[in-house]
Structure 1
Amino acid sequence: MDLDRLERWAYANRKKFSEAKCKVLHIDWGNPKHKYKLGGEWIESSPEGKDLGVLVDKKLNMTCQHVLVAQKASRLLGCIKSSVTSRSREVILPVRSALVRPHLEYCIQLCGPQYKTDMELLEQVQRRPRR
């Protein structure tokens, strides 16, 4: 009923939803996994979803988010290493703090590492050699 109401609202306001971009994330083990329609098209189910830049799976586990953050931070560290000629601590630390730290701290209050392996993964990126 909510999707029908949303579709009527969109029609009344001359808006259009892209059904191809809509996904259903079934949360919980006992979920009956109903199928939903939007605009006459069936919405496909997805094993994970992304909202406000945070990736979660159907068990509300955010390990996938931590892996993506660690990969992005590691790529940034590689770019810093290849583009900054000075290897002095006075130069590298502020650059790393300004460019890498925001990625590691983004949404940490929401998706803080739940598991020890996730925490070690993020700490490993922070301890990466500065040479």
Structure 2
Amino acid sequence: MHIGYGNSYHYNIDGTSLPRVQENKDLGVTKSHDLKTITHCNAAAAKGYHELWSRRRAFKCFDKEMFRILYPTYVRPHLEYCIQAASPCLIKDTNSLDRVQPVGTELVKDISKLLTMSA
């Protein structure tokens, strides 16, 4: 992976040329060649949605108390993983992570009524 647009060096190990890649994943953080975090934020949001829907399917009674236990335990760690290393700088990256919680609150009938009444 070449960082920056003007870097045209070709790297070799024992005479074998290393391939160029656009993204690299290290310790769960996806970094692109231009150091944007959109791929990491979208992957974290997708994992958050997946955990949210799998917990919703697993529990028949998904009420307010269950949401208060399950959301911080299973969903938030995916959204906050390595946020210090790959902090979302763009608004669209932040919005992709912030959209997960309103979807989760819409699944709970008691909370979704409160949100629609206050809006």
Classify the TM-score, shorter chain: 0.7 to 0.9
Q: 1:69 aligns with which of 25, 40, 44?
A: 44
Segments of 4+ moved more than 4 angstroms: none
What SS does the corresponding residue of 2:18 show, helix, strand or coil?
strand
Kept in 2, the 8 Å contact 1:86–1:92? The answer is no
1:41 is matched with: 16
Paired AA for residue 42 in structure 1? S
What SS does the corresponding residue of 2:100 show, helix, strand or coil?
helix
Return the alpha-carbon distance in structure 2 between the equivalents of residues 40 and 78 of structure 1.
Answer: 49
Q: How many residues align?
A: 106
Aligned CA-pair RMSD:
1.2
How big is the shift at 1:117?
A: 0.7
How big is the shift at 1:56?
A: 0.9
Structure 1 residues without counterparts, runs of 5 or longer: 1-24
Return the alpha-carbon distance in structure 2 between the equivalents of residues 68 and 117 of structure 1.
Answer: 14
Superposition pairs of residues 1-131 of structure 1, within 5 angstroms: 25-32=1-8, 34-128=9-103, 129-131=106-108
Structure 2 residues without counterparts, runs of 5 or longer: 109-119
Kept in 2, the 8 Å contact 1:48–1:56? The answer is yes
Higher helix share: 2
What SS does the corresponding residue of 1:29 show, helix, strand or coil?
coil
Paired AA for residue 2 in structure 2? H
Max Rg structure: 1
How big is the shift at 1:50?
A: 1.1
Q: TM-score, normalised by structure 1?
A: 0.76
1:15 is matched with: none
Percentage of identical aligned residues: 30
What SS does the corresponding residue of 2:88 show, helix, strand or coil?
coil
Return the alpha-carbon distance in structure 1 between the equivalents of residues 40 and 11 of structure 2.
Answer: 27
Return the alpha-carbon distance in structure 1 between the equivalents of residues 39 and 19 of structure 2.
Answer: 21
Return the alpha-carbon distance in structure 1 between the equivalents of residues 101 and 87 of structure 2.
Answer: 16
Paired AA for residue 41 in structure 1? T
Report which structure shows greater RCO (CA 8 Å, sep ≥6): 2
Q: TM-score, normalised by structure 2?
A: 0.83
